Amino acid sequence: MEQDGDTVMGEAGPHQSNPGASHAFPSSNPSRPAVPGTLKGGTDPWLAPLLLGNSMNLPLPVHQSGNPQATAPAAAHQPVGPASVVEKPAESSAAAPVVPAPTKRADSLVEETSDWSEEDLGARVGLPLASLPSGLCYDVQMRYHCEVRPTADVHPEDPRRIYYIYKELCRAGLVDDPESSRPLVARPLKRIHARNATEEEVSLVHTPDHFAFVESTKDMSDDELIALEHTRDSIYFNKLTFASALLSTGGAIETCLAVATRKVKNAIAVIRPPGHHAEHDKTMGFCLFNNVSVAARVCQKQLGESCRKILIVDWDVHHGNGIQKAFYDDPNVLYISLHVYQDGKYYPGGDEGDWDHCGAGAGLGRNVNIPWPSQGMGDGDYMYAFQQVVMPIAQEFNPDLVIVASGFDAAAGDELGGCFVTPPCYAHMTHMLMTLANGKVAVCLEGGYNFRSISKSALAVTKTLMGDPPDRLHSTLPSDLATSTVRRVMMIQSRYWRCMYPKGPQEEGLWTDRLHDVIRTYQSKQLYDNYKLTSLYIYRTSISKSFENQVLASSNYYQANPLIVIFHDPPEIMGLPHPVTNKLEAHNCWVADVMKDYIGWAVGKGYAVIDVNIPKHVTAEPATGKYEGEDENRPTATEELAGYLWDNYIEPNDATEIFLVGIGNAFYGVANLLINRDTLYKRINGVISFVAENPVRAIASHTQVWLSRWYKDNSLVYVSHTHGVWNNVESRRKPSKRYGHLIQSPKAGLSEMLMHHKNEVFKWIEDRADEAVTEEEEDARKGKSKSKSRSPTKEKPAGVPPGPS
Ligand SMILES: [Zn+2]
């Protein structure tokens, strides 16, 4: 029943000449009187294939002249079956007068002026778009570009790449070729003729000099070509390079045009040499002319408004620097690339593939880079990026055509790419993209160097284009690297795309106070009102700004015993954002401030307290509105502050019993203080630490080998039961004493742990404080002077090693 593959018009043939299909819709309905004259173009289901034919030939005039295409064929066809079509319009026009809306819907079979519902038409005309064939562009002549004198190491961009893909498609019975397995599928791939791109077309992206340069290679001698190769970045030439490159670009153009004008449903172009690295004035990375970019420009130019907005998705494992450059300031071409970046060290190198390259000028926000920090990315990572970034942004962009710069070098098995994307994952990505642009997806081959991987991947993509559902994915879990990368990309892109979460403050100057500072101000007021804690003056220009209001002390801090110094992270905040606006509303946010219980207890006991809040981000005001992670310099800044406090507020005063408490990453300050100040530990009575996610800090010193032992005997280190340190305990032996006296907490989060172990901590401190006091009393009784230099042995008699001997 399939007609020839030469023209889609052929699709219409059998339908039009086959009145038997009329059983698909009711021929009459007495309850609905005919309303002659209301029958508009397009209401006749028979016309559907014809409309397709028209729209594919002239996509432009359709919208501009009030749908002449719709009415003309309707008139022509009205006599065909008036009885069968009259009653439906009557229903619609009776229910609601039809107001033709001048929207453009080139692909819809239901005209805006139609009295028919989509549902009716769908039932009557079948699947006109789905039953179009998918296209395939392949030309054996593209294999002529090869190395002049192949060495033992075959170049990865091997001419056989496209041949193997083509063979795979034949083997699957998808291509009407004598070599194909039989039987063929019901509707084989419709061949798209690859022609030479013209100089004019290539010049839409490349400079005349560039074209002339590539052209000049056709007349060079082999030796000249080899010499030339060494002057260029990753490219080889032979006498037929120019011809192959023209054909490759022409193939991409014809493929995209065929898809954009609905000659085919969608298409794959199995072409080489690849193109996405080629820049306007240079060949690089196995690429000569930028196939996809030239094709996009030709479509825009030839098809005008019906193909104004083009999405280019580049899933080649390398960044498509050439495509990015070609459209960097173009608001109508959205370029989204997923690639291995490795901090600019992965080919093509440099920072252009980084996430903050978002386009420029009118094209700002139309460039989306998803730069993987390393190789080894897989299905879960690509799916996550597609679901979180690619598809939401693509849908918001709402393209007229989707072009995929389809390298298969991120495929499992490709040594160059080192990633693990499976054929089903390529199928799913294709499937998702097919929801865009009315299904107009043109896939153009770029890189990919493992014959087996590229063949299987291309087959999966092609079958999906042809209508097969994608195979199941085995792994859909994204890695931490992927989630953090994608989150960062979302943060950056949230400036340009409404669908991106979370949203940062937009208006400068409108959002002035960090919630962190608001909460600290509130905390300090509470601590003053309840316990008379006041701010300690921090006279250090480098830290004063960030630590202003962050150090609070009880009025007796310089004389009472013991002194408890608490270094803690800001209180944890839990919020439920509004599901639509993502706004955090005050009544849906909670602050967990367990520290106030600790302070209340200490003050109640008459102890001295210094409370140090370590902001997670030590930054200059005003807030930038960008997402800011925990500051890398925080441990250093914390240590600096701890040292400052020690020198100015702790060391000189009378307290002999000092307890240091460090919570979360704020413990860094405590740890470094102990390690770097030789005799400090002698005045410390005990150290308490709470660890949830951050590493457990070791306390050890090369110069004071007994420090670890002292730490082990004089500390309580509560570690979340989910922490990795416990894995080591199971697999090996006990953790080193350098990590202190580890206690596995049944709780996971810091706040929960603080709450859970509160009473243990209180008791431990009380006991030790009492012990110390008793010791002192004894000393006093024996007439000894008050000790200010507690040695490790004196600290805790039992089980403490002697000092260095
Ligand atoms: Zn590549």
- Three-class SS state of 311: strand
Higher pLDDT, 31 or 401: 401
- From 145, 277, 339, 568, the catalytic residue: 277
Quick one: pLDDT band at residue 256, thresholds 50, 70, 90? very high
Compute the distance between CA of residue 783 and CA of residue 45 in angstroms, rounded to an integer: 111
The pLDDT of residue 112 is above 70: no
Nearest-CA neighbor of 114 among 128, 101, 129, 95?
101
**Single-letter code of the amino acid located at 472:** R
Whether residue 481 is found in the same domain as residue 568:
no
Whether residue 602 is found in the same domain as residue 477:
no
Compute the distance between CA of residue 636 and CA of residue 613 in angstroms, rounded to an integer: 15
Main-chain dihedrals φ then ψ at residue 345, nearest 5 degrees: -95, -15
Last residue of a domain, one of 461, 494, 527: 494
N- to C-terminal Cα separation, the chain: 98
Residue 223: left if φ>0, alpha if ψ -120 to 50, beta else—which one?
alpha
Specify the CATH number for the domain of residue 646.
3.40.50
Whether residue 478 is found in the same domain as residue 524:
no
The count of other CB atoms within 10 Å of the CB of residue 454 is 26
Q: Is residue 187 part of a domain?
A: yes
Let me know the angle formed at the C-alpha of 108 by 106 and 109, rounded to the nearest 5 degrees: 115
Whether residue 693 is found in the same domain as residue 604:
yes
Consecutive H or E run containing 269? strand 267-269
**pLDDT computed for residue 46 by the predictor:** 34
Higher pLDDT, 196 or 630: 196
Q: Distances in Å between the alpha carbon of 633 and those of 661, 681, 779?
A: 21, 25, 44
Ligand 1 center to residue 224 CA distance, Å?
A: 27
Ligand 1 center to residue 395 CA distance, Å?
A: 26
Higher pLDDT, 597 or 83: 597
The pLDDT of residue 450 is above 50: yes
Beta-carbon-side half-sphere exposure of residue 776 (alpha carbons within 13 Å):
16
Q: Is residue 76 part of a domain?
A: no
Q: Distances in Å between the alpha carbon of 731 and those of 397, 712, 721, 745?
A: 51, 21, 15, 19
Compute the distance between CA of residue 696 and CA of residue 775 in angstroms, rounded to an integer: 32
pLDDT in tens, 711-727: 999 999 999 998 888 87
Buried b (16+ CB within 10 A) or exposed e, 598-631: bbebbbeeebbbbbbbbbbebeeeebeeeeeeeb
Compute the distance between CA of residue 320 and CA of residue 334 in angstroms, rounded to an integer: 13
**459's tokens:** 């087959």
Which range among 48-57, 272-281, 635-644, 751-760 shows the weakest confidence by mean pLDDT? 48-57
Ligand 1 center to residue 143 CA distance, Å?
A: 18
Nearest-CA neighbor of 424 among 464, 395, 455, 393?
464
**pLDDT computed for residue 1 by the predictor:** 38
Q: Is residue 397 part of a domain?
A: yes
What is the rounded average pLDDT for all residues in the chain?
79
**800's tokens:** 């403490």
**pLDDT computed for residue 735 by the predictor:** 72
Which range among 584-588, 743-747, 793-797 shows the weakest confidence by mean pLDDT? 793-797
Q: Are 276 and 407 in contact (CB under 8 A)?
A: yes
pLDDT in tens, 193-229: 999 999 999 999 999 999 999 999 998 888 888 888 8
Model confidence, pTM: 0.56
Q: Are 406 and 444 in contact (CB under 8 A)?
A: yes
Ligand 1 center to residue 357 CA distance, Å?
A: 19
Whether residue 467 is found in the same domain as residue 597:
no
Whether residue 522 is found in the same domain as residue 574:
yes
Whether residue 526 is found in the same domain as residue 419:
no
- Three-class SS state of 462: helix
Q: Is residue 6 part of a domain?
A: no
Buried b (16+ CB within 10 A) or exposed e, 482-521: bbebbebbbbbbbebbebbeebeeeeeeeeeebebbebbe
Whether residue 593 is found in the same domain as residue 734:
yes
Q: Is residue 805 part of a domain?
A: no
The pLDDT of residue 392 is above 60: yes
Ligand 1 center to residue 317 CA distance, Å?
A: 5
Q: What's the total number of domains in the chain?
A: 2
**pLDDT computed for residue 502 by the predictor:** 59
**594's tokens:** 């367990």
- Three-class SS state of 34: coil
The per-type count for the chain, helices as H runs and strands as E runs, is 29, 18
Whether residue 284 is found in the same domain as residue 326:
yes
Higher pLDDT, 64 or 331: 331
**pLDDT computed for residue 733 by the predictor:** 62
Specify the CATH number for the domain of residue 158.
3.40.800.20
For this structure, is 578 an active site residue? no
Q: Is residue 173 part of a domain?
A: yes
pLDDT in tens, 513-546: 778 888 888 888 888 899 888 888 877 655 545 5
**758's tokens:** 């509160």
**pLDDT computed for residue 176 by the predictor:** 94
Whether residue 484 is found in the same domain as residue 569:
no
Q: Distances in Å between the alpha carbon of 655 and those of 342, 552, 601, 767?
A: 52, 17, 18, 17
**pLDDT computed for residue 580 by the predictor:** 66
Nearest-CA neighbor of 193 among 445, 324, 6, 380?
6
Compute the distance between CA of residue 65 and CA of residue 354 in angstroms, rounded to an integer: 45
The pLDDT of residue 608 is above 80: yes
**pLDDT computed for residue 720 by the predictor:** 92
Last residue of a domain, one of 494, 527, 552: 494
Whether residue 250 is found in the same domain as residue 390:
yes
Ligand 1 center to residue 235 CA distance, Å?
A: 13
Q: Is residue 717 part of a domain?
A: yes
**35's tokens:** 């309303």
Quick one: pLDDT band at residue 599, thresholds 50, 70, 90? very high
Q: Is residue 2 part of a domain?
A: no
Owning domain of residue 446? 136-494
Ligand 1 center to residue 192 CA distance, Å?
A: 24
Whether residue 351 is found in the same domain as residue 471:
yes
